[in-house]
Amino acid sequence: MATEPDELPRARRRGAALTRAIFEATLAELAESSVDQLTFDKIAIRARTGKAALYRRWRSPAELVLAALADPEVGFTETTPPATGSLRGDLLALLTKFARALDEPHGRALRPLMTQRDRHPQLYAQVWELVVQPRQRLLTDLLRAAAERGEVRADAVTARVAGVGPRLVIATHMDIGTVPATEVEAIVDEVLLPLLRP
C-alpha cells in the first residue's frame, strides 16, 4: 500500500538543521499555494517533522513566513552596497541581485504575498518592510553618493524615486517570471538614469 504524505517517516533533526528544514518547507509551500492555504499541518509534512515543533516556536503560519524570509541562509540576505564605481554599475548590480533572488524559493514565495495583499494587509506590510524597504534605503544611499559626485540631481534623491527600481523588477517578475539581464538593463537605462540625470 502506498504511503500517504502524512505517513512519511520523520527526519531526525534538531536545532539549526530542523529550523532550516522548516523555513525551506514554509517558503516552498507558500510559493506553490497561497497565504490562505498555508497551514502548520502542510509545513510539518513537507519538513518531515511533527506539528509540535512548529507550534512551540511560532504562533501562526504568517509569523513563520516572516521568520523564514528574514533568515540569512534561507530568506533574503542583508543588502550591501555594490561599490562598482559608477551609478549605472551600482544600479545594475543591485537590481540584478534582487531579480535573481526572486527566482529562488524565498523570492517565489513573495508572489502570493503580493497578489493577496488585500486579504492580508498587515502581513504584506511586514514583508514589504522586511524585503523591499532595505533595498530602497540602499538605493537612496547610492543616489545620495552619486549626487555628491555630480551624476544625479540632488532633488532626485527621494524615497519615491529610489523605490522605482525594485518596484519595476517586482512588476516584471509578476508579469513574465524570470527577469532577464536585458530587462534589468532596460529598467536602468530607459527609466532610472533618464529620471536621475542632471
Dihedral of CA atoms 6, 11, 15, 20 in degrees, nearest 10, equals -70
On whether residue 134 sits in a domain, the answer given is yes
- 99 plus 163 within the same structural domain: yes
**DSSP-assigned letter for residue 78:** P
On whether residue 31 sits in a domain, the answer given is yes
- 62 plus 92 within the same structural domain: no
**pLDDT for position 1:** 41
- 120 plus 156 within the same structural domain: yes
On whether residue 174 sits in a domain, the answer given is yes
**DSSP-assigned letter for residue 8:** S
- 49 plus 91 within the same structural domain: no
**pLDDT for position 81:** 85
**pLDDT for position 110:** 87
On whether residue 34 sits in a domain, the answer given is yes
- 54 plus 98 within the same structural domain: no
**DSSP-assigned letter for residue 53:** H
Domain extent at residue 30: 5-67
| pLDDT, averaged in runs of 10, over the chain (198 residues) | 46 77 95 92 94 92 93 84 89 93 89 88 90 86 90 90 91 91 96 91
**pLDDT for position 15:** 75
Q: Taking Cα atoms as reference points, which of 142, 74, 141 lies closest to residue 106? A: 74
Provide the number of structural domains found in the chain: 2
Global confidence as pTM: 0.79
**pLDDT for position 11:** 53
b or e along 106-126 (b: 16 or more beta carbons within 10 Å of the residue's beta carbon)? bbbbbbbbeeebeebeebbeb
